[in-house]
Amino acid sequence: MVTLGVDLGGTNIKVALVDEAGAILQEASRPTNLPRPAEAVCDDIADLCRELMAGRDDVAGIGVGCPGTVDDATGMVLYSNNLDWSNFAMGPYLTRRTGLPVRLANDANAAALGEALAGCAKGADSAVIITLGTGVGGGVVLDGKLLTGYTGAAAEPGHMVIHDAADAPLCTCGRRGCLEAYASATALIRMTKEAMAAHPESALWQLATPQTVVGRTVFDARDAGDAVAAAVVKEYIHWLAAGVANLVNIFFPQVVGLSGGVANQGEALLAPLRAEVEPMVFGHAFAQKRTTLTTCTLGYRAGVIGAALLAREK
C-alpha cells in the first residue's frame, strides 16, 4: 500500500507517491499560479495525483499539507492567508475528483509529521520540530500523531513570548518578544544589521552590505574570527535556547528537531545550543532520560512525506 502526499505552497504544488517507510517512489509538481479559485488549484492537485496513480491499484489515500488553519475532521480549509481561501471544503472536493479519502494538515504540521515519522525523529515516541525560517514555525508529534488542538491551529511555538517587555521586538503576530521575533532567520538578519550599524569596524562589512545580509552571514564572519559577529551568534543562540528549553519543559519530548535555513549550520549551532539548553531543563540534574536536540533530515521533502504518512493514519 502507498499513499499520495501533497505540499500545497503559494508558489508550487508538489505531489509525491510515498511508501509505508516514508520513501518517495515518484514525484510531480506544477506552479500554484495564484491568484485563482480554490477549485482550479484543486483540479491541478487532482491531475497530479491521477498522474502518479496511473496504472496502480494500491494507492490508499491522499494527505495534503496546506498553509493556514484546517479542520481535518471535516476536510475544511478554515482560513489560509497565503492562498486567500476561507471555509473551502478541500477534502470532499479532492475526494470527488480522485475517489480517494483525503486527510488535511497545516503545512508546517505536515512537515513536522514527516520528520517525526521518517526523518530526524524516526522511531521516537515524541518530537517537537521547530523551523527557523522567515518566521518560526513548527509542529508537535506525540505517539505518532500531530498535536492540532481543539481549534486545529496548534502548535505555534514561534508565538510563545520569551521576553515580555515593552522594548522587545514586535512580532508579526502583534505581540512583543515572541520566539519568532528572536530566533527566526529574519530576526538573525535584523540583529546582524544592528551590529553592523553599531560596529563599522566589524568584518561583517567585508562579507555583506546591510542589503545583502542573509542568515549565514554572521556565522561566516564569526568563523572568520570577527568578535562582533561572535557576539551576535551568542545572543541569537541564547534566545533560541530559551525557547527550546521552554518547549522541553512543556513536552519533555524524545527529540527536538530544528529545520529551516539557520539549522543548516548543523553542529556549529547545535553544540552551543545544547550546552545552553541542558541546565535550563527542569530536573536536569536527576533526569534518567534526556531530550535529543538535533537537525531535521528530510529538507523540503518533509512536507510531501509527512502529508503522505498522514493519509495512512487510521
- What are the residues binding its own copies (CB under 8 A)? 69, 78-79, 86, 124-126, 140, 142, 147-157, 159-165, 173-175, 238-239, 242, 245-247, 249-254, 279-280, 282-283, 286-291
Q: How far is the CB of 82 from its own copies (least distance, A)?
A: 13
Q: Between 37 and 279, whose beta carbon lies closer to its own copies?
A: 279
Q: Between 38 and 242, whose beta carbon lies closer to its own copies?
A: 242
Q: For residues 262, 113, 72 and 149, what is the CA-based torsion angle, rounded to 10 degrees?
A: -70
Q: How far is the CB of 144 from its own copies (least distance, A)?
A: 13
Q: Between 250 and 268, whose beta carbon lies closer to its own copies?
A: 250
Give the rounded distance of the alpha carbon of 292 from its chain centre: 18
Q: Between 205 and 252, whose beta carbon lies closer to its own copies?
A: 252
Interatomic CA distance for residues 176 and 273, integer angstroms: 23
User: Which pairing describes strands 24-31 and 12-18: parallel, antiparallel, or unpaired?
Assistant: antiparallel
Q: How far is the CB of 179 from its own copies (least distance, A)?
A: 9
Q: How far is the CB of 249 from its own copies (least distance, A)?
A: 4
Q: Between 244 and 305, whose beta carbon lies closer to its own copies?
A: 244
Q: How far is the CB of 113 from its own copies (least distance, A)?
A: 16
Interatomic CA distance for residues 64 and 103, integer angstroms: 6
Q: Please name which of 64, 92, 115, 74 lies closest in space to residue 307, comparing C-alpha atoms.
A: 64
Cβ atoms 184, 158 nearer than 8 A: yes
Q: Is the peptide bond before 155 cis (omega within 30 degrees of 0)?
A: yes
